[in-house]
């Protein structure tokens, strides 16, 4: 080869070497959270950009293997390019992607570490080409339009309240009381409109003694034409058999109830009426379920039912049923049912009475209740009783089933009981 040709080849090699863009070495040791070295691959990808020496860097992907945590790769610096371009590093280990991150590689003649290139915020171009900062909303494609499509807080917005979109499209809160209802236009107020109540199978107050002709209802019928009065199951005719004035029924002499008759009234009434109305026109289970076990030699509760105020009204009936079981052969026992403060049933069983059952029926009148009972046990004979309990019930009443053992050692269990209100 002639000297001129050798010189020309050398010049070409120097020219090619000088055309290579600058590179920065990223070198680090990676560990997992448990302290063991990271083993796997890092896939690094980028889009096309222009290097600092005006070299055109084509978009591409490279894969770097990491063994015993050692990572080493050379990349063209991109922290100062415009428009902004990041390297995306995806870490793969154990056959799946573990995580990914963005890199902004600075120009450096010395190796840099991962922490020197990792970015969580985009690089912002400016006087300092390595400065980092937040991206403005206007620089994010579609962000302003998306934000404009969302409702913003209005001047009446408050936490813990029902949301309302005001006329400007902002989010306000509905004003009102906690018990108010919200209308579709965002206003608040009382829930619904007052609904009429009713009284069903009410026993008018008044003596049925063949001479009394006036009886008083617990509420004002509204409308008055809704009143239906039954004497011994027969419908009486308003204006013919009786007259109604307010809450007072006055019978004509020929239709006046006589001793032994039954008298019932059914009517509608406005919800604003101050009278008492029958809350449950159909049978209702007020209490029920299994009771408890007693082993004491003094009375203890096996089960109870507390009836709320306003539930029971004159003319109602309350049915009570129960089943007991006695275990042991050392002692007999005593069982009783209390209606308020009145004992309306009491039976004494022997060791042979391993099972006991009973039924009570209480009919309510303004003065209290007339209570009839039936009870029997394994050997204890069938027994019936009838009596009165003068306990007030309109303000609430507690029915208590109690038991005690004659001697310690045995158990008495209330297997089940129920208290049912009949209108």
Does residue 360 sit in the same domain as residue 396? yes
Rounded mean pLDDT, 235-264: 93
pLDDT at position 134, please?
62
Closest of 36, 76, 72 to residue 56, by C-alpha: 76
pLDDT tens-digit readout, 141-180: 777 788 878 888 888 888 878 888 888 888 888 888 877 8
pLDDT at position 90, please?
93
With a cut of 50, say whether residue 286 has pLDDT above it.
yes
Does residue 238 sit in the same domain as residue 186? no
Does residue 297 sit in the same domain as residue 414? yes
pLDDT tens-digit readout, 372-415: 999 999 999 999 999 999 999 988 999 999 999 999 999 999 99
How many Cα atoms within 13 Å fall on the side-chain side of residue 181? 6
Residue predicted with more confidence, 156 or 322: 322
Residue at a domain's end among 137, 169, 192 = 192
44 belongs to a structural domain: yes
135 belongs to a structural domain: no
| Contact indicator for 270, 232 with CB cutoff of 8 Å | no
Whole-Å CA distances, 328 to 16, 142, 357, 358, 376: 109, 82, 18, 21, 19
Residue at a domain's end among 71, 100, 119 = 119
Rounded mean pLDDT, 62-69: 94
361 belongs to a structural domain: yes
362 belongs to a structural domain: yes
pLDDT at position 387, please?
94
Confidence band for 77, pLDDT divided at 50, 70 and 90: very high
Give me the CATH number covering residue 81: 2.60.40
Range with lowest mean pLDDT among 180-189, 221-230, 250-259, 295-304: 180-189
pLDDT at position 124, please?
46
- What is the tally of structural domains in the chain? 4
pLDDT at position 187, please?
82
Sequence-distant (6+) residues with CB within 8 A of 335 are: 302, 324, 345, 346, 347, 349, 356, 401, 402, 403, 412
Does residue 297 sit in the same domain as residue 406? yes
pLDDT at position 127, please?
41
- Residue-number span of the structural domain to which 219 is assigned: 197-269
Angle at 147 between CA 134 and CA 167, to 5 degrees: 145
pLDDT at position 372, please?
96
Does residue 184 sit in the same domain as residue 202? no
Does residue 82 sit in the same domain as residue 205? no
Rounded mean pLDDT, 315-331: 93
Confidence band for 297, pLDDT divided at 50, 70 and 90: very high
126 belongs to a structural domain: no
Whole-Å CA distances, 310 to 277, 279, 313, 357: 9, 8, 7, 30
Does residue 389 sit in the same domain as residue 290? yes
Closest of 45, 49, 47, 57 to residue 21, by C-alpha: 57
Does residue 372 sit in the same domain as residue 388? yes
Residue predicted with more confidence, 406 or 16: 406
Does residue 214 sit in the same domain as residue 228? yes
How many percent of the chain have pLDDT more than 90?
58
Rounded mean pLDDT, 75-83: 89
9 belongs to a structural domain: no
Residue at a domain's end among 239, 269, 299 = 269
Does residue 290 sit in the same domain as residue 401? yes
134 belongs to a structural domain: no
Write out the two tokens for 113.
């570490």
Average pLDDT, the chain: 86
pLDDT at position 145, please?
81
With a cut of 50, say whether residue 274 has pLDDT above it.
no
pLDDT at position 84, please?
84
Does residue 115 sit in the same domain as residue 43? yes
129 belongs to a structural domain: no
pLDDT at position 156, please?
84
How many percent of the chain have pLDDT more than 70?
87
Rounded mean pLDDT, 227-251: 93
Count of residues for the chain? 423
Give me the CATH number covering residue 303: 2.60.120.200
With a cut of 60, say whether residue 223 has pLDDT above it.
yes
**Euclidean distance between CA atoms 161 and 165, whole angstroms:** 13
Does residue 239 sit in the same domain as residue 315? no
pLDDT tens-digit readout, 345-376: 999 999 999 999 999 999 999 999 999 999 99
pLDDT at position 363, please?
94
């Amino acid at each position: 080869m002639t000297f001129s040709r050798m010189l020309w080849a050398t010049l070409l090699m120097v020219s090619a070497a000088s055309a290579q863009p600058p590179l920065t070495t990223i070198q680090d040791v990676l560990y997992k959270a448990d302290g063991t070295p990271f083993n796997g691959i890092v896939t690094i990808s980028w889009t096309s950009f222009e290097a600092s020496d005006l070299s055109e860097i084509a978009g591409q992907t490279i894969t770097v293997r990491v063994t015993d945590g050692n990572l080493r790769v050379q990349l063209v610096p991109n922290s100062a390019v415009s428009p902004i371009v990041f390297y995306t590093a995806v870490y793969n280990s154990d056959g799946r992607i573990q995580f990914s991150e963005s890199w902004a590689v600075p120009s450096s003649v010395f190796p840099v570490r991962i922490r020197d290139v990792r970015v969580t915020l985009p690089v912002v171009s400016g006087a300092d080409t390595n400065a980092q900062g937040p991206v403005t909303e206007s620089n994010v494609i579609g962000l302003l339009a998306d934000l404009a499509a969302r409702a913003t807080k209005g001047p009446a917005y408050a936490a813990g309240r029902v949301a309302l979109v005001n006329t400007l499209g902002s989010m306000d809160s509905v004003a009102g009381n906690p018990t108010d209802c919200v209308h579709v236009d965002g206003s608040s107020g009382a829930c619904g409109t007052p609904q009429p109540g009713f009284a069903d199978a009410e026993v008018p107050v008044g003596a049925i003694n063949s001479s009394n002709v006036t009886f008083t209802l617990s509420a004002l019928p509204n409308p008055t034409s809704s009143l239906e009065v039954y004497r011994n199951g027969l419908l009486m005719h308003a204006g013919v058999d009786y007259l109604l004035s307010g809450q007072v029924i006055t019978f004509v002499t020929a239709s006046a109830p006589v001793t032994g008759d039954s008298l019932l009234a059914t009517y509608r009434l406005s919800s604003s009426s101050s009278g008492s109305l029958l809350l449950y026109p159909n049978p209702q289970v007020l209490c029920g379920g299994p009771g408890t076990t007693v082993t004491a030699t003094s009375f203890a509760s096996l089960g109870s039912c507390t009836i709320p105020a306003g539930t029971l009204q004159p003319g109602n009936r309350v049915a009570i049923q129960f089943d007991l079981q006695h275990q042991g052969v050392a002692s007999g026992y005593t069982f009783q049912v209390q209606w308020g403060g009145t004992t309306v049933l009491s039976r004494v069983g022997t060791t042979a009475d391993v099972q006991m059952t009973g039924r009570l029926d209480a009919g309510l009148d303004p003065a209290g209740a007339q209570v009839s009972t039936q009870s029997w046990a394994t050997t204890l004979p069938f027994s019936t009783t009838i009596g009165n309990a003068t306990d007030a019930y309109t303000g609430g009443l507690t029915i208590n089933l109690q038991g005690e053992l004659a001697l310690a050692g045995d158990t008495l269990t209330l297997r089940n009981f129920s208290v049912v209100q009949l209108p």
